[in-house]
Amino acid sequence: MCAAAGATALTAHARESSGGTDLDGAALASMVCATSVAIIMLSVAPAVEPYLRQVAQLSPGQVGAVFFVELAAMGTASIPACLWVGRIDAARAARCAYAAFILGNVLSLLCLESFALYAASRAVTGFGAGTLMVLGMWMAARTRNPDRMYALITFAQLASGALMLWMLSAVARDGRMLHDVFYASAWLGGLGFVAAGPLSRPGGRHGSSTRTGLPDRPIPWATTMLAIAFAMVFNLVVGGLWSFAAEYAGAGPPPARLTLVFAWATAAGLAGATAAFLIGHALPRRRLLIAGYLGILLGAGLLQFARGPAGFAAGCCVFSLAWNFCVPYVFAAIAGQDTSGRLMSAANLAFAFGLALGPLLAGAVIGSHGLDALFPCALAGLAVAAVLMLWVTQPAPP
């Protein structure tokens, strides 16, 4: 999701620089493959976190820093992409990104004993993954119905994440989970490398399209800052809690059961995104976001207070469902502040870096004050996010 946020910043450019296209089946499959491979580590992060603590002997602060480096690299990939996307053959760019992704995962296998080298290898992986996300989102922006393409990408990412976790739960072995993740990621990157060719033939153009039919209007400075803060704080809270969710399970559950819980939680996230897709604009956006925020609060509360296998599983599923239900409406609320698309460029990078900062700050809190300090910090962050949400979604003056 992090790189998806950064990559969406190119949507307006893609729609303005070319007419829409129709993707054939092979190109569509390649696009979905690229965007799904890109978020593998984000999908399995909660299941991987305990192994980074146990196998790589990383502290909570170091785990948060590693997640920050990878997620920040994914978001950063959208910045140079503004210069080359649409000017370089898409299949060639994808193969370069896949090569970086594969190299980063192979290096991760070899560098677990060195925190600095491991973090550097995850940065390489993240930059390759972010570039793949940029390509996929740019391709989606050039289709006849980009909103439906974004929905397809989101569903595919959540479904592939759940499948990955279910597979890992079946083969999870003490001390081998990290190796399995890196091997699987490298193999999937290799398959994507082979299947990247159709990205060069997206299909025929049709008439040009624009982001909206509304005239551009100046964006007040306060609106820009508050919308960016809204995007960042929401993901800071979500990224921090989700990356360290496994800490709430304690030392009891076996690796396979823990991973299976996260697989079901990811499936619940898919249900949340589906619900948002089906509801659409049938209800006021503010009311839907309030419901989603209450769901996030309920999930975090279950993790904190309903300790035990059932409470942990329920907390993860409720949290994931509510988070993914909110995401489309968060994007829509920010986009509603600006008809030109320029605000989304800054807000999407804030979205990405908020998701990256979350694990970094959460790891520092756990390392300094213990796990019980994370919930009050998340509660404070959620309160700030709610205030910003109420401001951003306030009805426009007549």
Instruction: Compare 92 and 348 and report the one with higher pLDDT.
Output: 92
**Lowest mean pLDDT across 130-134, 255-259, 320-324:** 255-259
Q: Please report which confidence band the pLDDT of residue 187 belongs to, taking 50, 70 and 90 as the band edges.
A: very high
Q: Is residue 397 part of a domain?
A: no
Q: Which two tokens stand for residue 216?
A: 């551009």
Grouping H, G, I as helix, E, B as strand and the rest as coil, residue 175 is: coil
User: How far apart (Å, rounded) are the C-alpha atoms in residues 123 and 73?
Assistant: 6
Please indicate whether residue 260 or residue 343 has the higher confidence score (pLDDT): 260
Whether 8 is covered by a domain: the verdict is yes
Report which listed range, 73-82, 234-243, 246-255, is most confident: 234-243
Residue 24 has pLDDT above 90, yes or no: no
Q: Which range among 80-84, 87-91, 103-107 has the greatest average pLDDT?
A: 103-107
Cα distance between residue 126 and residue 154, in whole Å: 18
What percentage of the chain has pLDDT greater than the value 90? 28
Residue-range definition of the domain harbouring residue 71: 2-205+216-392
- pLDDT at position 10 over 50: no
Which residues have CB under 8 Å from 180's CB, separation 6+? 168, 171, 172, 173
Q: Which of 34-48, 138-152, 323-337, 353-367 has the lowest mean pLDDT?
A: 138-152
Does 253 reside within a domain? yes
Q: Cα–Cα–Cα angle for 12, 330, 5, nearest 5°? A: 50
At 7 the pLDDT is: 47
Kindly report, residue by residue over 285-329, the tens digit of the pLDDT: 889 999 999 999 999 999 999 888 899 999 999 999 999 888 888
For position 376, what pLDDT does the model report? 95
Residue 205: its pLDDT value, please?
A: 42
Region 234-238: what's the mean pLDDT?
91
pLDDT value, residue 380 = 95
Distance of CA 187 to the CA centre of its chain: 21
What's the whole-number mean pLDDT along residues 220-227? Answer: 75
Name the nearest CA neighbour of 306 among 363, 298, 87: 298
Task: Say if 234 falls within a structural domain.
Answer: yes
189 in a domain, yes or no?
A: yes
Does residue 356 register a pLDDT over 90? no
Contact call for residues 225 and 276 (beta carbons, < 8 A)? no
- Across the range 37-62, mean pLDDT stands at 85
* Residue 332 falls inside a structural domain: yes
Inside any domain, residue 210: no
More confident residue, 202 or 245: 245
SS3 call for 205:
strand
Can you tell me the distance from the alpha carbon of 62 to that of 64, in angstroms, rounded to the nearest whole number? 5
Query: Does residue 241 contact residue 378 with C-beta atoms inside 8 Å?
Result: yes
Average pLDDT of the chain is: 81
Please tell me the pTM assigned to this model: 0.77
Q: Tell me if 187 is assigned to some domain.
A: yes
> Which amino acid appears at position 30 of this protein?
S
Count structural domains, the chain.
1
The pLDDT of residue 16 is above 70: no
- Residues 137 and 249: their CA atoms lie apart, in Å, by 35
pLDDT number for residue 26: 85
d(CA 72, CA 349): 9
CATH of the domain at 191: 1.20.1250.20
DSSP 287-329: HHHHHHHHHHHHHHHHHHHS-SHHHHHHHHHHHHHHHHHHHHH
Q: 45 versus 315: which is more confidently predicted?
A: 315
Q: Is the pLDDT of residue 208 over 50?
A: no
Q: Among the ranges 150-159, 221-230, 276-285, 378-387, which has the highest mean pLDDT value?
A: 378-387
Identify the weakest region by mean pLDDT among 192-206, 245-259, 355-369: 192-206
